[in-house]
Amino acid sequence: MTIDLGPLVPRDRTAHPVAYDVDYKTSVPRSPQWPLLSMESTPSEETGPRFGQSLLGPLDNNLILNWTGGTAAAVGERILVHGRVLDEFGRPVPQTLVEIWQANAGGRYRHVKDTYFAPIDPNFGGCGRTITDENGYYEFLTIRPGAYPWPNRANDWRPMHIHYSVFGHSFGQRLISQMYFQGDPLIDICPIAATIKDRSQLDRLVAPLDMAKSRPLDFLAYKMDIVLRGRRQTMFENKIEGM
């Protein structure tokens, strides 16, 4: 029996930031120097164990409490980040592992190489995970991350942001992105955000304030829907990647 997967939606390469941008200094060593190659995939990219609900802890999507196991709360403004994972036709993508990581309220990561002057919050680990439900919905309770300086130009600062990772059904299916906050003035002067030349594309990474989901006297909410480009692999040189 043949299963109709539907038409392949071509990738819009104009929506992706350039690999090398003169104002983003570390893109110089990171950007490719030679033409990209399409390599054959292996079973490790095409298969892998499914991450199920049984592997989640009760506080995995609560970054305010998960580092201490609920014994003490992280310091900072409480917020709820929520949304849906959808395909390119607006249909929900259920049972998808969504992970986030972020700086603390002072703008510092719990990482040995982060030497920013802001203090480490002993009650905040900075990462969480959850699985989308049957409607593709996810949510995280966390604190608003602080902005922080980074050694790019003389006085560059990263806007408040949360890193996202979305896993598919195999190790080779992973999307990594960032979420910014509505109204943050640093977005307009951030060299990393500026690598996305189309402002409408950059705005898709900015989560709007969602007062309908906010809880009075508790937290504000921000909505971040994640739209995946397709149900099939990307075409390279007129063939499916890895085939």
d(CA 150, CA 200): 26
CA gyration radius, the chain: 19
- What SS3 state is found at 55? helix
129, 164 contact by CB (below 8 A): no
46, 172 contact by CB (below 8 A): yes
Q: Which of 38, 51, 42, 93 is closest to 230 using CA atoms?
A: 93
Task: Report, as residue numbers or ranges, the catalytic residues.
Answer: 109, 148, 158, 161, 163
Range list of β-strands (E), 95-211: 97-102, 127-131, 137-143, 148-150, 156-158, 161-167, 174-181, 206-207
165, 142, 111, 187 alpha-carbon torsion, rounded to 10°: 70
Q: Which of 14, 12, 10, 11 is closest to 196 using CA atoms?
A: 14
